[in-house]
Amino acid sequence: MLSVLLWLPLAFGIVALLVPAGRAWIPALAGAIGTLVVAVVFWAGWGSPGEVPQYAESVPWIPELGISYSLAIDGLSLFLVLLTALAWVPAVAFAASRKAGEGRERLFYFMLMLGESATLGAFLASDLILFVLFFDLMIVPFYFLFGIWGRDRDGVGAGTATMRMIIYTLVGSLLMLVGAVALGFAAEDASGKELTFEIAELIRRGIPDSTQYWIFWLFALAFFIKMPLFPFNGWMPDAYRAAPLPALALFSAVLSKVGAYGFLRVVLPVMPDAAELFQTAILIFAVASIIYGSVIAFTKIDLRLIIGFSSIAQLGFITLGIFALDDTGASGALFQMVNHGLVVVPAILIVGLIAERTGSEDLGPMGGLAKNAPILAVIFLIVTMATLALPGSPNFIGEFLILNGTFQVSVAIAIVASSGVALAAYYALRMYQRTMHDPLPPGSDSREISLRDGLIVVPMVLVLVVLAFAPQIVLGETGEAVADVVEKVGSAG
Amino acid sequence: MTAASWAWLVLLFPLLGSMVIAFGFRRLPARTTGIIGTAAIGLAFVAGVGSLFALLSEPSESRYVASSLWEYAGVGELRIDLGLYVDPLAVFMVLVVTGVSFLIHFYSTAYMESDEGYRRFFSYLNFFVFSMLLLVLAGNFVLLIVGWAFVGFASYALISFWYRRTTATAAGMKAFVINVVGDIGLVLAAILIFRELGVLDYRAVFEAAPEAFTTNEWTIVAICLLLLVGAFAKSAQLPFHTWLADAMEGPTPVSSLIHAATMVTAGVYLVARSWTLFELAPSAADVAAIVGVVTLLVAGTIALVVTDLKRIIAYSTMSQIGYMFLAVGIGAYSAGMFHLMTHAFFKALLFMAAGSVIAVMANNQNIDRMKGLGTAVPFTGAMLVIGSLALAGFPLTSGWFSKDEILDYALYRGDWYTWLAIAGYVGALMTALYAFRIVFRILPGRPCPEAAELIETGHVAHGEPVNPVTGAAEDYEVGYPGRDHHVAEQARGMRIGMGVLAILALVAGFLQVPGVTEVVKNFLEPTFEGSPLAELHPPVGKAWLGLFNGGVIAVVGIALAWVFWVRRPAIPEALQTRFRPLYELFLHKWYFDELIDLLIVRPVKALGQFANRVIEPFVVGGIVTGTTTLVRSAGSLVRDLQSGMIRAYAALMVLGTILLVLYLLIGAA
């Protein structure tokens, strides 16, 4: 059954290739909505949190090499799968409403839907090689989306920017592939049983410490580049500026989470000793990313870059929570992955709405849009407040849990990280204020959000609002799975 | 109904009011939204009274209820409920907040009549009251932080209410960011509490704390100091006070509600709420008291020299809250809460009167321009005098009873606390001086042009709309007053709002008369049950002596003000030239803005620029360029395949990766 969820988007993507170009969006949107419905059905059938995994299927794929096609949903992946399925709907709808993919609509929507299948695959895979393959596969459609339909900015061609991104990311995932293969063999050697890449089986077999120590960094590097964390964010600014907005929204909201998810899914359970040994090092990377992303977001005026660098800071928080190796911290991190995704999609789509009204994505010449567009302003205000993790937003609970977890490990790191919260308040509010408040410059059109755009943006904001009242909806389901992962690290040493 | 059910209703009405107005803003007529907003707060007050009676019907040792709707967030040991804690302190705050807010809403229905954003105003105002009530009713530290931050957010929204005015948006941002710094203090405090005690619910924390901590152990001191960071930021105490004066950019009823009567007292409430913790950490409590005293002195000096009417009152607020921090810092909890209440009355009144004056002055706020307003708006003039009398602590007014109760207590505790009391008396002298500086400068004399216009024509003057701070031209939609502005004190809503508060400012003091009644203290007693400091009580004779001293100081201060600004105006001018450096120091608000800019804002910006100009291109960019160059040079070995097509290149990369993996796998197998 999980295969239906996994391949449904691609199936609709293929249909999109076959219909007239002008209608290619219809199967894509239908596919995105259908996938969301299937994902919700899985969630509705979810049993008590204790049963692990809740849904699973596994068939041998390349038995000689021990590679199997195994999929599962458990507490770790449930809400990320839901986030993926949810995020694709407004992104596709936004693309359709803006007639995106000009000239080659069929290819555009095919790529978009291939991206969804690949991303879902990364979250669903319970075979290590399958995970790595999906991890690589998901970048490919985005490469085309950014490269073909992106824009050249300030002398940096979309092609060049995307090229840098893909080479960089692929180098990272290549290293991870090597690591993954090596893990399989190390486990085979250690156990004397036949080769397999089933993650659960790798955990049972255990990996020798010395092997863990170097493979750990191969994975960490791949994930750091993907998220990205400082100092591996070099591909990010140009790619963010080039990307078409709906694709960027997905990339920033969902794809960046796969890296963080990989830590929880693979690195911590399979390489617990390494995770424990290198804990401090990773925490330092994480806290450096928080500060670095925040202070740069402080200085940028390009809305995409503000969101991009704030994402670096947010992923720093998420990594911090995971490597606190504490159940509150890691639960907070997983929750924050969902929250950040929920915030970023509307934020980036609103950047599009702002650009349509002001003709610019730079904060310099804008302002005052709230004048005739109070509803747009309020929507953006809610998104802004969630971005800066105003207490009362679900993001605050995420951050609170992360800081709480970090505090148990290192008071100093927790305090430095918390300064990122104050910086976020400044750069996020500045983004709101310079677009919606202040005088309305001539040439800006303060136009209210249309009903259609409202229908695209508001549902995700509503999910945020619901979670604000009851973060426990998520935390209650993920808690045990996360605690399971984290406790293994503690007990392994 | 139990006190808890009433308390949920207290929260429900303002939230509902805010939402109804927000969702109906296109359909509802403006007047209706004003009525809805005001009624919502009125109902909340009624529910608060219900809660009061429900609580009073219990025996005094069980006058508390905790109530939870559902589990808000729980991971492992950590459990946070969406729950309330209702005890006398919470109910006291609820009544003060809803009572004063109700009058301010009422006043606003008239005052904001000509404003373009009338509906938005009431939606925000209701949301603000909801947040404040959540803050005081929250049953655990996390929900407290939520209310705390919502209050900060509402204050941001209301300070930036005229959002196309850049000075207003900048002020809103400043208030918000400083408040977030305070929030972080609270978050860290909550985390530390959880680490040490494993619980976050008030009652559980307060019961566990005395077992877990020894007096002045560093952890409990750290917890209390972190709580104080939050408290100082919200209550505009040094060094987190700079946002409050700028917050005067908001509409005057907002200044009255948020920046005088309610929000800024949250810090005082927090210390009183956490008295168990502070008594375990007396050094932190001393910090609260000392910072309060320093703030009251510094704010007093600034209030003596600035000329913006609203800012003078804003600094007086800081100063009065300093007294409250002194009170809760030294253990005079009920006196602190009593002063919180009387201050809410007379300060809200003063701001309302200031609003009325500003309306007459066509939005001009500079007291140098104001003259003869006593003749033009006699009712407002009377209100201003009553408010100033209470602020100055004139005998028999509410401020006299409440402020001097605090200072009596400080004297009674003796030791070095005596010095705090003495500083408090110096502050009281300054208070009387600046309060009556306002009165004597703007009420008597020959009417200024705006006042004269009102007297002669019966119409409020209409100036061109300008920013009152910068003087830059604006349009009518940006700030107060609107195009059809004609309210003055004749507006009924304003008169009733001010009138009721004036009565309260005059008589509320009689709730606590030494040797006669102790309504507030007795009511709050269950909350402070078990505190040795709350048991301390100056004998009646000493209390009256203190009141006498306070009264003398107030009268002397008022007399001095009369000499300075009526009889011999040359004296203050001479003092200004004589003590030029001191005058400059006060006028520039002790250079706190400049200091914060220098120590925090600039370094962060410089760090950002450094990261942008150096680390980003050379370090971060260097890694990318290095990697891609490496890959490209490997790729150039197969240059023929490149064919200029980037896509083909990428496809090649993917293919290469997959082949490499297969190779590895097969080779190894």
Rounded mean pLDDT, B474-487: 68
Cβ contacts of residue B101 below 8 Å, gap of 6+?
A: B41, B125, B129, B132, B257, B261, B262
List CB contacts (< 8 A) between A483 and chain B: 75-76
Rounded mean pLDDT, B599-617: 86
Q: Which helix (H) or strand (E) holds B74?
A: strand B65-75
Would you state the pLDDT for residue B640?
47
Q: How many CB pairs under 8 A join A and B?
A: 211
pLDDT more than 90, % of chain B? 45
Reported confidence tier of residue A493, pLDDT bands at 50, 70, 90? very low
Separation between Cα atoms, residue A5 and residue A80, nearest integer Å: 13
Cβ contacts of residue B546 below 8 Å, gap of 6+?
A: B404, B405, B407, B408, B411, B538
End-to-end CA distance of chain B: 75
pTM: 0.92
Q: B268 with B231: CB under 8 angstroms? A: yes
Handedness of CA A202, A207, A211, A215 (dihedral sign): positive
Closest Cβ opposite residue A437 in set B78, B164, B608: B164
ipTM given for this complex: 0.92
CB proximity A385 to B under 8 Å: yes
β-strand partners of A72: A56
Would you state the pLDDT for residue B643?
46
List CB contacts (< 8 A) between B612 and chain A: 296, 299-300
Query: Of the given ranges (A162-166, A206-210, A429-433, B459-463), which has the lowest mean pLDDT?
Result: B459-463
Q: Does B637 or A413 have the greater pLDDT score?
A: A413
pLDDT in tens, B100-140: 999 999 988 888 887 888 888 999 999 999 999 999 999 99
Cα-based angle B65, B67, B70 (whole degrees, multiple of 5)? 170
Would you state the pLDDT for residue A291?
93
Reported confidence tier of residue A21, pLDDT bands at 50, 70, 90? confident
Reported confidence tier of residue B143, pLDDT bands at 50, 70, 90? very high
Rounded mean pLDDT, A326-344: 94
Rounded mean pLDDT, B250-269: 87
Nearest to A9 by CA among A41, A33, A26, A25: A33
> Is the per-residue pLDDT at B506 higher than 80?
yes
pLDDT in tens, B372-423: 888 888 899 999 999 999 999 999 999 999 999 999 899 888 888 899 999 9
Q: Which residue of chain A comes nearest to B619, CA vs CA?
A: A231
CB proximity A232 to B under 8 Å: yes
Would you state the pLDDT for residue B267?
93
Cα-based angle B254, B258, B259 (whole degrees, multiple of 5)? 95
pLDDT in tens, A228-281: 998 888 888 888 999 999 999 999 999 999 999 999 999 999 999 999 999 999
Say whether B75 and A332 touch across the interface (CB within 8 A). Answer: yes
Enter the tokens of residue B324.
């409250």
Separation between Cα atoms, residue B93 and residue B333, nearest integer Å: 13
CB proximity B605 to A under 8 Å: yes
> Is the per-residue pLDDT at B657 higher than 90?
no
pLDDT in tens, B278-293: 999 999 999 999 999 9
Say whether A392 and B654 touch across the interface (CB within 8 A). Answer: no
Enter the tokens of residue A291.
């500060």
Q: B210 with B282: CB under 8 angstroms? A: no
> Is the per-residue pLDDT at A119 higher than 60?
yes
pLDDT more than 90, % of chain A? 55
Say whether A396 and B149 touch across the interface (CB within 8 A). Answer: yes
Closest Cβ opposite residue A439 in set B75, B166, B631: B166
> Is the per-residue pLDDT at B647 higher than 60?
no
List CB contacts (< 8 A) between B22 and chain A: 378
CB proximity B169 to A under 8 Å: yes
CB proximity B611 to A under 8 Å: yes
pLDDT in tens, B158-184: 999 988 888 888 899 999 999 999 999
Would you state the pLDDT for residue B595?
87
List CB contacts (< 8 A) between B665 and chain A: 65, 67, 181
CB proximity B188 to A under 8 Å: yes
C-alpha torsion A185→A190→A191→A197, nearest 10: -30
Reported confidence tier of residue A52, pLDDT bands at 50, 70, 90? low
Would you state the pLDDT for residue A131?
94
The per-type count for chain A, helices as H runs and strands as E runs, is: 21, 2
Would you state the pLDDT for residue B567?
85
Other beta carbons within 10 Å of B526? 19
Cα-based angle B21, B156, B38 (whole degrees, multiple of 5)? 35
Enter the tokens of residue A60.
């041998």
pLDDT in tens, A54-102: 678 888 888 888 888 999 988 899 999 999 999 999 999 999 998 888 8
Nearest to B163 by CA among A377, A492, A106: A377
Rounded mean pLDDT, B252-260: 85
CB proximity A313 to B under 8 Å: no
Q: B129 with B112: CB under 8 angstroms? A: no
Cβ contacts of residue A339 below 8 Å, gap of 6+?
A: A386, A393, A394, A395, A398, A464, A467
Reported confidence tier of residue B46, pLDDT bands at 50, 70, 90? very high
Would you state the pLDDT for residue B483?
65
Give how far the C-alpha of residue B244 lies from the chain's centroid of Cα atoms, to the nearest Å.
Answer: 8
A22 min Cα distance to partner chain B (Å): 24
CB proximity A140 to B under 8 Å: yes
Would you state the pLDDT for residue B9?
93
Other beta carbons within 10 Å of A119? 31
List CB contacts (< 8 A) between B632 and chain A: 167
Would you state the pLDDT for residue B250?
85
> Following DSSP, what letter does each residue of A370-405 receive, concatenated?
GGT-HHHHHHHHHHHHHHTT-BTBHHHHHHHHHHHH
> Is the per-residue pLDDT at A163 higher than 60?
yes
List CB contacts (< 8 A) between A407 and chain B: 188, 191-192, 195
C-alpha torsion A201→A202→A204→A205, nearest 10: 120
CB proximity A391 to B under 8 Å: yes
Is the preceding omega at residue A244 within 30 degrees of 0, hence cis? no
Separation between Cα atoms, residue B666 and residue A158, nearest integer Å: 37
Closest Cβ opposite residue B611 in set A296, A396, A433: A296
CB proximity A395 to B under 8 Å: no
CB proximity A332 to B under 8 Å: yes
Say whether A392 and B149 touch across the interface (CB within 8 A). Answer: yes
Nearest to B86 by CA among B145, B8, B13, B141: B8
CB proximity A468 to B under 8 Å: no
Q: Does B636 or B155 have the greater pLDDT score?
A: B155
